[in-house]
Amino acid sequence: MTNHLLGPDDLSSAEIEKLLNLAKEIIANPMNYADAAKGKILATLFYEPSTRTRLSFETAMLRLGGQVIGFADANSTSAKKGEGIQDTIRTVAAYSDIIAIRHPVEGAPYLAAKYSDVPIINAGDGGHHHPSQTLTDLLTIWEMKGQLDNLNIALARDLKFGRTVHSLVEALLKHKGNKFFFVSPEGLEIPDYIKEKIPADAIVETHNLEDVLPEVDVLYMTRIQKERFANPDEYAMFADACILDNEKLKGAKKDMIILHPLPIDKEILFEVDDDPRAAYFKQVKYGMYARMALIYTLLNKPFVKGYEREGVVAEGITAKCQNPKCVTNNANVQSAKWLFTDEARTVCRCEYCDWILKNE
């Protein structure tokens, strides 16, 4: 494991299992960890709104005996005056022992890690990744299904901008035999940079939830990411797609579990909350324990400053990242390196946002 947790590729399957086992140990014996972070400070830098993730991180640190500083509104910070991520991180790292950052710009936590003197945790970067939520999801699945392999997992609604979906898929690909059912309205399909990592026989794509429910072990619902749309009228086109109700659940397995990273907008009707398969509020509590395990692990690793994505640098390519939401297009950052991340060296990705370089 690196000094930071920025994306699912920072963890091997063995490291995921180690973190989940630690989370289960904390659940079983919380008092053994009540002073584990005594004298340490977590900084939560939330440039985007959050309820569960921010409070989960803060509660996790407090339950480990540590303290918390930070902000929940970037408009009340020097970012409002034009301060860049690099300078904010250099400053906050001087006050803290570990930092959790959420940012609307994709790749911002990767940039932060290059300048930080303390571990960085990505608490969500635009529509890119959300790895601590992935640990939450994996812990919930493991606790409720008893396995992380040989599962049929349906991921529904906003798969284009749903960063929790992207991180979860990449993490589950580290475990054998999983099959993915991608359910989305047309226009919100799973991005190519995720799909190209999945074996063709492990993907089913559809626009209808009812088509796949009879086969599914885990249903992962998401909301339409309204804040990612430049045009409100475009969001309105998708608002009523793939709604889950009791009628649809009649065709699902009796032992299926329903997950959701929350908040729920209208994609799950209230009537579903009483179904024994609805696990999304249990998921919230598992998130606190997963983050306790993550904070504990990172605080107890020897720290080496700096961060570089794994991959072979594509020498001679100087193209600008084509993703308008990439940190290279939204901050004072030099052009990204392009990395080959596949063995055949055919796919070039931005080191920050994973955007695939295409010849246009």
Catalytic residues: 52-53, 81, 102, 130
Query: Which strands make up the sheet holding 67-71, listed edge to edge?
Result: 67-71, 41-46, 98-103, 120-125
What is the rounded distance in angstroms from the CA atom of residue 48 to the CA atom of residue 299?
Answer: 25
List Cβ neighbours of 360 (8 Å cut-off, separation of 6 or more): 322
Using CB atoms within 10 Å of the CB of residue 38, give its burial: 0 to 12 exposed, 13 to 18 middle, 19+ buried: exposed
Sheet-wide strand order for 203-206: 203-206, 179-183, 152-156, 218-221, 257-259
DSSP result, 225-246: -GGG-S-HHHHHHHTTSS-B-H
CA 126 to chain centroid: 10
Gyration radius (Cα) of the chain, Å: 20
Q: Tell me how far apart the alpha carbons of residues 51 and 198 are, in angstroms, rounded to a whole number.
A: 32
> Residue 174: how many CA atoms within 13 Å on its side-chain side?
16
Report the alpha-carbon angle 143-294-286, nearest 5. Answer: 30
Q: In sequence order, what DSSP letters do the residues of 17-66 get, joined into one string?
A: HHHHHHHHHHHH-GGGGTTTTTT-EEEEEESS--SHHHHHHHHHHHHTT-
